[in-house]
Structure 1
Amino acid sequence: MLNALGLLKQRRFLPLFTTQFLGAFNDNLFKTSMVLFATYAVFNDPKMEANFNALATGLGILPFFLLSALAGQLADSHDKARIIRIVKTVEIGIMLLGATGLMVARAGHPSLGIGLMLGAVLCLGVHSTFFGPIKYAILPQHLAPGDVLGGTGLVEAGTYLAILLGTVTAGWIPIEGAAASVLIVAVIGWFSGRQVPPAPREGPPLKLDYNPFTASWRLISATLHIPRLFLAIIAISFFWTIGAVLIIVFPPLVKNVLTADERVASFVIAVFSVGVAIGSVVINSMLRGRISAKFSPASVIAMGGFVVLFSFLARNWTPAPPGQFYDWAGFIRQPGAIPVLATLLAIAITGGMFVVPLYAFLTTTVERDQTARTVAANNVVNSGAMTIGSILVIGITALGVTPENMLFLVAAMCLVSAWLAQKLHLACDDDANGCLPGLHH
């Protein structure tokens, strides 16, 4: 097997990796800029801040629920590289809409500006819905079976490093800089997308079903009858529901509990991204290219433990004087700062170790002409679970539950994820072929 990092030298992988990296960077630069602006410059109420973040999250994942089935059909019935080029062209228009929203809000028209920005978030959800199945489904088509796990890990690691850079950048540049940057990066991503090698349809032609509900139902029912695939998708859905809750909770928690400014908020989210990237690489080394859920239960149990620890650290935090926020220097001088950041990093590392092997199941359990639809089925279920998570946050926040207490819900969900991962691992043990890549049922 090629060393996973060696794939970055290959034209069959590097353009896809670069395109995904730039897309994730741009998506998070825009969304984080919007959330930080709304949290620190528009709203002055913890409930409103949490509700806005939940609304933005919900709008971003709604297209996954409605359009993933169509996206999977298109990816499995057309050249995936051509779809990438179309998607990256559309991204330029979306970022133009988002950049306009940022500038309008900055000019003193927050209601109109936030409306435009939320519209861009919805469109970015559509963009990601059609790109999402391809970034995983194209890997078995371009890579040898023994390189699929390594390629999946690199895509995940690159994604979270891009999230890191986009998130940190959003906290340090002015709104004007963010508006200009998202347009520039979208154009660079368009050029990168044009370098992805062709990935034509491999199976028979498909008759497309444009009804989002019947298509989604058929897609899921055609996928979830395979036990290990069903368990992998459900476990991934729980993970991303956990992720949705954490991302919604973090900005208000940093502002109102850790009493730190937007630069610290962006850095906290960035630490989470770094950790998932580290976990993605570590688990690939531990599994030595073998697709297995062996370490997933222990990983997500450890993640839940670190979440509980993070909640206790937040409770014991010394807040800034009333009406003030810690800047980066003031934050890092606090006695609890290093434990808070280290615990957050540990949450993310164990999360990455949990989820990356599960994505490899999606692309190696079925035949190559079905991989995009399998990833799309995963996206439908994921988006439904994340929507429920967003609604839960709104409801629990309305009941007066604080962000540090909401973390206990996250810890409980980690236990459910561990149970699902253990069932998946046992299902592979019961399979005479194990979970080796390239061996399908």
Structure 2
Amino acid sequence: MINALGLLKRRRFLPLFVTQFLGAFNDNLFKTSMVLFATYAIFNDAGAEANFNALATGLAILPFFLLSALSGQLADSHDKAAIIRLVKTAEIGIMLVGSAGLLAAKIGHVHLGLGLMLFAVLLLGTHSTFFGPIKYAILPQHLPPGDVLGGTGLVEAGTYLAILLGTVAAGFLAKLPYWWTIGAVLGFAVIGWFAGRQVPPAPREGPPLTLNYNPFTSSWRLISATMHIPRLFLSICAISFFWTIATVLIIIFPPLVKNVLTADEQVASVAIAVFSVGVAIGSVVINTMLKGRISARYSPASVVAMGGFVALFSFLSRGWTAAPAGQLYGFASFVAQPGAIPVLLTLLAIAVTGGMFVVPLYAFLTTTVEKDQTARTVAANNVVNAGAMTIGSVAVLGITGLGVGPEDMLFLVAAMCLVSAWIARRLHAACDSETCASG
């Protein structure tokens, strides 16, 4: 196996990496800008803010639930690079819709603006549904087996670094005139379109498929064809629990920063950025520890550590000194607080251990099946993930309705980490790297 970073020099990897990086950056730039605008400029209630974030998260997840089966079939039966070009073209139109919503909201048509922005979030979810299986399934087709884990780690690291930059950019653009944000999301959509055109062909492998366009029967058949295999079943369950945990964190985090840490938009974006870069670090670290071998050896310990850091984060939040009534900490005043560095370091630790947990699990999905089935396997994972994330979103709505605050909800996240560790332990016991690699 070559050094994972050496893959960035390869013509068969770099364009894909850049394309997915720009897509994740732009997606997060837009969605974070929308959430920060709604949290800080429209709503003035922690419950309403959490409910809006849950609604936005649910809309982004819905296409994964309905369309993942179709996306997997298309990716396994057509040239994946051609689908990438179509998806990146659609992104430009989606950002036009989202920009129109932001413009409408800024000039006073709040309900129309929020409606258009939420519609854009739904379309971005559809965009990600069709791109998601490809960015993993194309790796075994373009890379030798010994480099697939490294490529998967770089894709994960790149995704979260893109989230980092998109989140930070959204926080700083929130302080500028709105047309800066509009120009940014449209500009990066166009750049991503050009990058997508450089991805080398990845034609269909295996026999032709007869597409099933019924989202319900196709999803059921897709899951049935995948989940009866023990190692895939356990991988998908573990990944689904991870993304349910991530969903809860994503929903509660902006209200927690505003109402518990009493900080402004820039602090919220920096804190989310710290989380994002932590997952990227974890993705690279686990690849180094495993030396390219595909194994869940470290996943149980990683997610147990993640749960411990989540519980610590809750305790640190409770001991936080709030800003004076009616005021929010800016970034400079936030980091000047005695508890700021422990809070940020704990958040970083949550993310690093999370990245170490999930990256090997994605590698299982793409290396333990035939190459002509990889996209459908990833799509089956996305369907189950979407269902689990939807349950997480609904649970947040219900628990918030009972008056539970975000710092208390972190204990639910910590408990879920223990369930993830149990599943990952079963996966490691069922399938070591050599057995799985031989598929």
Counterparts of 2:435 and 2:245, CA distance in 1: 29
Counterparts of 1:290 and 1:240, CA distance in 2: 23
**Paired position in structure 2 for 1:310:** 313
Counterparts of 1:387 and 1:202, CA distance in 2: 33
**Paired position in structure 2 for 1:390:** 393
What amino acid is the match of 2:124?
Answer: L
Instruction: State the 1:110 CA deviation.
Output: 1.1
**Paired position in structure 2 for 1:265:** 268
Matched, 1:101 2:104: no
Counterparts of 1:196 and 1:222, CA distance in 2: 30
What amino acid is the match of 1:283?
Answer: I
Matched, 1:417 2:420: yes
Instruction: State the 1:177 CA deviation.
Output: 1.1
Give 1:264-283 correspondences, 5 Å limit.
264-283=267-286
* Equivalent residues of 1:16, 1:193 under 8 A apart: yes
What amino acid is the match of 1:216?
Answer: S
**Paired position in structure 2 for 1:289:** 292
Matched, 1:54 2:34: no
SS of 2:306 mapped into structure 1: helix
Matched, 1:347 2:340: no
Matched, 1:171 2:174: no
* Equivalent residues of 1:290, 1:435 under 8 A apart: no
What amino acid is the match of 1:143?
Answer: L
Instruction: State the 1:435 CA deviation.
Output: 3.0
Which of the numbers 222, 225, 242 marks the counterpart of 1:239? 242
What amino acid is the match of 1:160?
Answer: Y
**Paired position in structure 1 for 2:135:** 135
Give 1:16-415 correspondences, 5 Å limit.
16-173=16-173, 174=176, 175-415=178-418
CA RMSD of aligned residues (A): 0.7
Counterparts of 2:277 and 2:435, CA distance in 1: 31
Instruction: State the 1:393 CA deviation.
Output: 0.3
Residues 162-216 of structure 1: CA distance to partner in whole angstroms, max 9, x if unpaired? 0000000000013321111000000000000000000000010000000000000
Counterparts of 1:160 and 1:312, CA distance in 2: 26
SS of 1:434 mapped into structure 2: helix
What amino acid is the match of 1:434?
Answer: T
SS of 2:431 mapped into structure 1: helix
Q: Which runs of 5+ in 2 are unaligned?
A: none
**Paired position in structure 2 for 1:434:** 435
SS of 2:436 mapped into structure 1: coil
Counterparts of 2:237 and 2:368, CA distance in 1: 15
TM-score, normalised relative to structure 1: 0.98
TM-score, normalised relative to structure 2: 0.99
Residues 304-329 of structure 1: CA distance to partner in whole angstroms, max 9, x if unpaired? 00000000000000000000000001
Counterparts of 1:319 and 1:103, CA distance in 2: 33
* Equivalent residues of 1:57, 1:390 under 8 A apart: yes
**Runs in 1 of length 4+ with deviation above 4 angstroms?**
none
What amino acid is the match of 1:120?
Answer: A
* Identity fraction in percent: 80
Of 102-111 and 337-346, more deviation after overlay is shown by 102-111
Counterparts of 2:110 and 2:280, CA distance in 1: 35
Task: Report how many aligned residue pairs link the two structures.
Answer: 436
